[in-house]
Each structure stands twice: as structure tokens, then as C-alpha cells.
Amino acid sequence: SAVISQKPSRDICQRGTSLTIQCQVDSQVTMMFWYRQQPGQSLTLIATANQGSEATYESGFVIDKFPISRPNLTFSTLTVSNLSPEDSSIYLCSVDPGTGVGDEQFFGPGTRLTVL
Amino acid sequence: GENVEQHPSTLSVQEGDSAVIKCTYSDSASNYFPWYKQELGKRPQLIIDIRSNVGEKKDQRIAVTLNKTAKHFSLHITETQPEDSAVYFCAASSGYALNFGKGTSLLVTP
């Protein structure tokens, strides 16, 4: 499986500011995903990040709040903008290292965000 | 969109007993069903998955069964050990995006 790292591992931010999270993979992957996991909850897909095209956002998530970049096949960033305490969550990237539909997804270690 | 229901939300078993977690899904187009284990403070780890052309898959003490007609799938853990204690998530996908169940907190007591 791919080796996935995220930066930062955790951060405490003031409301109204933004946080950019980086996701790095040790091999080229077509599909990268960003999830949110609120405290004690399940994982919710924010968006799918494809290299060379705009990210595809899930219902309830918008580009202005969660801008995503995917400059190459090994790297992506998620920015959480205009932070509020409700944004306090763990943000995880995942990758699908396969070439077909329905392949496995592997998760990064997550970024724990606390908004004061 | 896809809706995945997972039961029970908590499960406590004695070491050595079996544990069963069940999930149902709504989208008949779903064709990929992974299970993830998440220990406290850790990332979700893929432990087993099944595709729609298979009814059962086993890997040592864990197995997954799929009933496409009824649109449900289950995780079976036999001979449970304390290190099996974690939150388990099922998911379903008809494409690239995974839709997760709410999770089952499994506690295995010695």
C-alpha cells in the first residue's frame, strides 16, 4: 500500500483564520480524497481531488470554504477557510492507488484541527 | 445518494467469542464494500473488503459476507482478542467515493 503523510498532524487556530493541510504520497496516484471526521463520528467525504482538473465536492461542502489543490500525482492540499469552532475535526486524506473502479483506499494519519 | 446503516453502534464480547457487525446499503449500484478498523487516535485501516461478484471472503479470523439481493453485508470476527478492540466502519461504493456507516465500537474483555 502507499505511504501517506499529512502536515500538520495537529493545529490550534483562531476563528476567522484558515488552515492549509498537506497530503503527500510516496507514489503517483490518480485519485485522492479528503474526508472530515468530527469527534466520535464517522468519516464524511468532502471532495475528490483529481490532478489537472477541479475538485469534485460532495453535497454540503463548497469550494469557497474548502479549496483544494492537486498540482501533481503525489500531492494535494486542503484549505479550511474562515474557521469556526464547528470546523474542529480530524481531516484525513486518502488515496486510491489502483487503476479500476472500486479499488482500495488508504488513509493518511489525519490532521487534528481545533478552532478556538 | 448512498445511505449506509451500521449496527450495532457498540458491541462488547468476551475474549474468544465471535463478533458480528452488520451493514445495509441503499444504492443497488454499489459494488465495493470495505471494512476499516480505527484504533483510538489512529487512522482507519483497511482490514478486508468484498466486491459484488463474491458472496463471502475470509482472511484468518475475519470474514465478510455479502447479500446483494437484500443489500446487506456483515463482518465476522472469530476468536476475538483484546487487540481487536476498536471502532469498525463499513463502507459502500458504486464508484470511487466511499460512503461510511456510523461505526461500531467493539470492546473485547479478557
Nearest to A95 by CA among A51, A62, A42, A37: A51
Q: Chain A contacts of B45, Cβ < 8 Å?
A: 107
- The residue of chain B with its CA nearest to that of A57 is B97
Give the pLDDT of residue A36. Answer: 98
Whether residue A92 lies within 8 A of chain B, CB to CB, comes out as yes
Chain A with chain B: Cβ pairs closer than 8 A? 53
Which of the pair, A100 or A69, is modelled with greater confidence? A69
B31/A102 Cβ within 8 A: yes
pLDDT tens digits along B80-104: 999 999 999 999 998 778 999 999 9
Terminal-residue alpha carbon distance, chain A: 36
Q: Chain A contacts of B66, Cβ < 8 Å?
A: none
d(CA B7, CA B23): 6
Q: What angle do CA A15, A17, A22 make, to 5 degrees?
A: 120
Interface test with B, best of A32, A41, A43, A48 (most B CBs within 10 A): A43
Closest in B31, B46, B89 to A43, CB measured: B89
Strand, coil or helix: B88: strand
In this structure, are residues B107 and B83 in contact, taking their beta carbons and an 8 Å threshold?
no
Q: Chain A contacts of B89, Cβ < 8 Å?
A: 42-43
Give the pLDDT of residue B63. Answer: 98
d(CA A56, CA A47): 5
B102/A42 Cβ within 8 A: yes
Spell out which chain B residues touch chain A, with contact meaning CB-CB distance below 8 angstroms.
Answer: 1, 31-32, 34, 36, 42-46, 49, 51, 89, 93, 95-103
A42/B89 Cβ within 8 A: yes
Closest in A44, A102, A107 to B93, CB measured: A102
> Locate cell 456510523: which residue?
B102
pLDDT tens digits along B41-79: 999 999 999 998 889 999 999 999 999 999 999 999 999
pLDDT tens digits along A2-53: 899 999 999 999 999 999 999 999 999 888 999 999 999 999 999 999 888 8
